[in-house]
Amino acid sequence: MSTRRRANPEGAMSVGAHFQELRKRLVLVLVGLAVGTVAGWYLYEPVMDYVQRPLTELGAGNPQLNFQTIGAAFELQLKVAFWVGALVSSPWWIYQIGAFISPGLKRAERVHALAFGAVGVLLFGAGAVSGVLVVPRAVDALVSFVPDGAATLLSAGSFVSFYMYLVLAFGLSFLLPEILVALNFLGVLSARTMLRGWRWAIVVAFTFAAVINPVPNPVPMIIQALGLVALFFLAVGVSALRDRAARRRRAPAAVAAAGA
């Protein structure tokens, strides 16, 4: 029996149906990641050429990537393939998040789940692009601390991990409003509760931007933090509209129950 059939007439799902749906979506996410990883394996060389551009184009002491063990190149290719797979399949696994909440929604609300997935792809892409733009500045700033006359020998694995960490962290950070809105649609978090924690949201946004941003210049950190704060309040606004619509739908039923 499908999870949709287990939903009650009001659209709510049982706990067991939620877990079954979650398991299904996780399997689909893993399948998407596997397919993306295979594609990433064949895209390894052009991806590595692009990843190394901050080292070759900025002229910061002519740093070189080094493979320190005999199996390091193979391990790096696996890591890059998985990373590319996560990025390439991001529309798929972000859609699965929207599809997971869809069975618990009324039919009129399911269009919101589709919008949820589409907006999530755009937000993740914007965050990932921001991370890519930050990497050259970060490399230039960090390598500038190398003393004159010293050679810069970088572990290939460490450098690629640094690159992946920034791009994925920026991409995931931009999904903050998606997570909050999803919790609101599931009935876990109201807009009023979110708004009560706005001070903590600002503190977390600036702390996260300070930790994640390797550029010594505070301007990129402040811009990123303000962007995260704006996304937080956008999520609050969307959730408030949804809460108000839900209250309007419940009002006639409450009046009818009181009259009975």
Q: Within a 10 A sphere around the Cβ of 89, how many other Cβ atoms?
A: 23
User: Per-residue confidence at 9, pLDDT binned at 50, 70, 90?
Assistant: very low
Give the position of tokens 């972000």. 94
How far apart (Å, rounded) are the C-alpha atoms in residues 48 and 36? 16
Round the average pLDDT of the chain to a whole number and report it: 78
pLDDT value at position 144? 74
Q: Which two tokens stand for residue 217?
A: 């210049």
pLDDT value at position 66? 85
DSSP per position, 168-194: HHHHHHTTHHHHHHHHHHTTS--HHHH
pLDDT value at position 205? 85
pLDDT value at position 46? 92
Q: Which residues of 18-54 are buried (b: 16+ CB within 10 A; e: fewer)?
A: bebbeeebeebbeebbeebbeebeebbeebeeebbeb
Give the position of tokens 């924690």. 197
Residue 17 near residue 27, CB atoms below 8 Å: no
CA distances from 200 to 57, 116, 132, 163, 226 (A): 40, 25, 28, 29, 14
In tens, the pLDDT along 69-78 reads: 888 889 899 9
Task: Please check the confidence at residue 45 and state whether its pLDDT lies above 50.
Answer: yes
Identify each DSSP E strand in 80-230 by its residue range: 153-155
Give pTM, 2 decimals: 0.66
pLDDT value at position 42? 92
Strand 153-155 with 64-66, pairing: parallel
In tens, the pLDDT along 164-176 reads: 888 888 888 888 8
User: Per-residue confidence at 251, pLDDT binned at 50, 70, 90?
Assistant: low
